[in-house]
Chain A
Amino acid sequence: SQQGEEDPQALSIQEGENATMNCSYKTSINNLQWYRQNSGRGLVHLILIRSNEREKHSGRLRVTLDTSKKSSSLLITASRAADTASYFCATETSGTYKYIFGTGTRLKVLA
């Protein structure tokens, strides 16, 4: 069973707009990672945020983490058609190296 729940399940936006997706989880974590999966391709790591961090940036990506609410958000700014993919959060449970993936958000960026 999967720990993470992502919201929304699907998102459709115009090119140039920002996309925000959220991840909620259930247990204490060491860190949280976001991955992207293009149709028919493998998962690619995007960004990692540790449990003692609140915000992190990487290029057009901004991730926030609120451990009190057990939630994280991924913001993609100035989206491009190439950002069309499924996005998954993965949490590393405290005290382990075990990662649990969320259910994913399917993002479609329209040109």
Chain B
Amino acid sequence: EAGVVQSPRYKIIEKKQPVAFWCNPISGHNTLYWYLQNLGQGPELLIRYENEEAVDDSQLPKDRFSAERLKGVDSTLKIQPAELGDSAVYLCASSLRGSGGNEQFFGPGTRLTVL
């Protein structure tokens, strides 16, 4: 079974440029998460989807970040314009929907460097 796929793995851009990350979750997983992880820190949730609905986007900086999950499968996270402080690893995870106790399966992440 394929795991969570993310692309690109690395991205270097100049500030004020746009950037997009793509995630393909594990087949059959209804729930999809985007996390941001700074160096030496744990992941911080940006947005959570149940199917195609964003059910928790309270931590997403909506002035510059946007996300979508078309048809409840793949998802794209976009930053426009990027700022220096956005340099981090962006992680995508997926899980089966259900009662509490969903194991999250993480992708390898996209390491973003903003110059």
Q: How far is the CA of A15 from the CA of B108 in the complex (A)?
A: 27
In the bound complex, residues from chain B placing their C-beta under 8 Å from that of A33 are 103-104
Interface of A is mostly: strand
Instruction: Say whether A41 contacts B108, CB under 8 Å.
Output: yes
In the bound complex, residues from chain B placing their C-beta under 8 Å from that of A104 are 40-42
Q: Does B102 contact A (CB under 8 A)?
A: yes
Instruction: Say whether B106 contacts A50, CB under 8 Å.
Output: no
Which residues of A line the B interface, CB within 8 A? Answer: 1-2, 4, 30-31, 33, 35, 41-45, 48, 50, 88, 90, 92, 96-104
22 A–B contact pairs at CB < 8 A?
A1-B44, A31-B101, A33-B104, A35-B106, A41-B108, A42-B4, A42-B91, A42-B107, A42-B109, A43-B91, A43-B93, A43-B106, A45-B104, A45-B105, A48-B103, A88-B43, A90-B104, A92-B101, A96-B56, A97-B31, A101-B35, A101-B42
Q: Does B100 contact A (CB under 8 A)?
A: yes
Q: Does B114 contact A (CB under 8 A)?
A: no
Q: How far is the CA of A33 from the CA of B41 in the complex (A)?
A: 17
- State which residues 15-67 of B face A: CB under 8 Å: 31, 33, 35, 40-45, 48, 55-56
9 closest A-B pairs by beta carbon, nearest first, are A101-B42, A30-B100, A42-B106, A43-B106, A45-B103, A42-B108, A88-B42, A101-B43, A31-B101
Given contacts A48-B101, A92-B100, contact A98 B106 (CB under 8 A): no
Instruction: Say whether B42 contacts A4, CB under 8 Å.
Output: yes
In the bound complex, residues from chain B placing their C-beta under 8 Å from that of A35 are 106
In the bound complex, residues from chain B placing their C-beta under 8 Å from that of A43 are 43, 91, 93, 104, 106
Q: How far is the CA of A97 from the CA of B44 in the complex (A)?
A: 14
Select B100's contact among A50, A101, A103, beta carbons within 8 Å.
A50
In the bound complex, residues from chain B placing their C-beta under 8 Å from that of A2 are 41-42, 44
In the bound complex, residues from chain A placing their C-beta under 8 Å from that of B104 are 33, 43, 45, 90, 99
Other than the given A42-B106, A104-B41, 12 more pairs (CB < 8 A) read: A1-B44, A42-B91, A43-B104, A90-B42, A90-B104, A98-B48, A98-B56, A99-B33, A101-B44, A103-B41, A104-B40, A104-B42
